[in-house]
Amino acid sequence: MEIMNQAIEQIYLQAKEKIGEGKVADYIPELGKVEANQLGFYMKSGSDLEVALGDYETKFSMQSIIKVVLFICAIIERTSDEVLSKVTVEPTSASFNSIVNLELKNENRPLNPFINAGAIVTVSLLKEIDSTGKFNKVVDLVRLMANNPNITYNSNVYMSEKETGSRNRALAYFMKSTGILEGDVEEILDAYFKLCSIEITCKDLANIAYVIAKDGFNEETGQQLFEPKIARIVRTVMALCGMYDASGIFAVEVGLPSKSGVGGGIMSVSTKRNGLGIGVFSPELDAKGNSLAGQYMLEQVSKLLDLSIF
């Protein structure tokens, strides 16, 4: 085990050398203020293989990673068939905030719940009517999965998201015009912006991923948080769609169901080694919006431990 830990530590040092090659997500002004040279890694395994490196306790905003928990909440409330009638689970070759696919493909339905349009529709499916109710529904599950009751949102990031969210408003109002989005658009968007600004750490992400790996069961509390069927659906969609329009190459090179966010985090799941959850954070992104150093770490760790599902 010590040799394994040393090997992962060496990968961490190699990943740090990637810092400087990417760019933080400054199109959301508050994210542009994040210190770029950070790298954190946390891995939790049912085989007692736990590794904590670097900035693993540093808080950062979930951004698109929240879409995984949001998707779970929607299926719990509405059933998978009902959710999939509004948003499908197909990969996309377009960017995560693309408008064109809504008009040209898939009968105006978002291609998957992990692009912005899909997540906005998923928020609308939560039965709570107002923004606060929708937010609380999702953040409560985040806290239960992460074993951290203190998780909340960053108000500065939330306001920055809201003030610069014109593209997301365009997506939402277009979907409202086609009948895909139901409810008050501004309430839905407010909840969406607030959810993206939830702050977590690499350890929190690894705990969330570990619950998904264990079919919805939280070993620390003994709670079955959601059905195994939901976990299987979520792992599948993460593998197909979790890394935006780079999901294909990520599947080839890493082979782990994962979800990234433009805050610099990536959450990865493996059902090998009696279940395994990984959280990694490094805010410099590549052109697709995925953490550069984070992807390198995941690729090398996946190869080292033979974690690929393919």
Catalytic sites, residue numbers: 64, 67, 192, 244, 262
237 neighbors 310 (Cβ within 8 angstroms): no
Q: Pull the structure tokens for residue 228.
A: 């195994």
Distance from the first to the final alpha carbon of the chain: 25
86 neighbors 79 (Cβ within 8 angstroms): no
265 neighbors 24 (Cβ within 8 angstroms): no
Name the residue type at position 280.
V
Alpha carbon distance 171, 150 (integer Å):
32
DSSP, residue by residue, 247-278: HHHHHHHT-S-EEE-TTSEEEEEE-STT-EEE
DSSP, residue by residue, 25-51: -TTSTTGGGS-TT--EEEEEETTS--E
171 neighbors 183 (Cβ within 8 angstroms): no
Name the residue type at position 238.
M
* DSSP reduced 3-state for 200: strand
Alpha carbon distance 116, 97 (integer Å):
6
